[in-house]
C-alpha cells in the first residue's frame, strides 16, 4: 500500500475567528507518494481547520464560494507566483500532512 502525503509548499494566507482560532488557510500543496516519489503538480487549496479535544487539527479541502473566488481574483499575482516553480536550491522544505 502506498503512502500519500500532502506537502504544503506555501501558505498564502490564514483566516482566524474572533477568538484567534485558525479556521482556514490558502495553501499551495502537492500530493506526493513517499514510497515511489511520484507526485501531482502543485495546486491551490483552501484547507479547513477545527479544534478537537483541545487540539487544532487539519481538516479537508473546502469547496470554493463566491467569497473565495473574489479572494482568488484579488490575489491572482500572488497565487501564480507561488505556483511557478522556483530553482531547486531556492525552495524551502515542504511541510508534510496526511493526504
For 34-44, the pLDDT digits (tens) are: 899 899 999 99
pTM of the model: 0.75
Contact (CB, 8 A) for 75 and 12: yes
Q: Can you tell me the mean pLDDT for 1-8?
A: 84
Does residue 79 sit in helix, strand or coil?
Answer: helix
4: its cell numbers: 500519500
pLDDT score, position 98: 53
Q: Can you tell me the mean pLDDT for 70-88?
A: 87
**Is 50 exceeded by the pLDDT of residue 99?**
no
Angle at 93 between CA 86 and CA 30, to 5 degrees: 70
**CA atoms of 32 and 15, how far apart (whole Å):** 26
Q: Can you tell me the mean pLDDT for 44-73?
A: 94
Total domains in the chain come to: 1
Does residue 44 sit in helix, strand or coil?
Answer: strand
Which residue range(s) make up the domain with 38? 4-98
Amino acid at each position: 500500500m502506498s503512502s500519500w502525503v500532502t506537502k504544503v509548499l506555501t501558505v498564502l494566507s490564514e483566516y482566524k475567528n474572533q477568538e484567534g482560532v485558525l479556521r482556514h488557510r490558502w495553501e499551495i500543496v502537492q500530493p506526493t507518494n513517499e514510497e515511489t516519489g511520484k507526485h501531482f503538480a502543485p495546486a491551490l487549496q483552501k484547507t479547513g481547520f477545527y479544534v478537537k479535544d483541545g487540539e487544532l487539527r487539519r481538516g479537508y479541502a473546502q469547496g470554493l464560494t463566491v467569497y473565495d473566488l473574489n479572494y482568488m481574483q484579488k490575489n491572482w499575482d500572488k497565487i501564480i507566483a507561488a505556483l511557478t516553480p522556483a530553482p531547486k536550491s531556492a525552495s524551502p522544505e515542504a511541510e508534510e500532512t496526511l493526504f
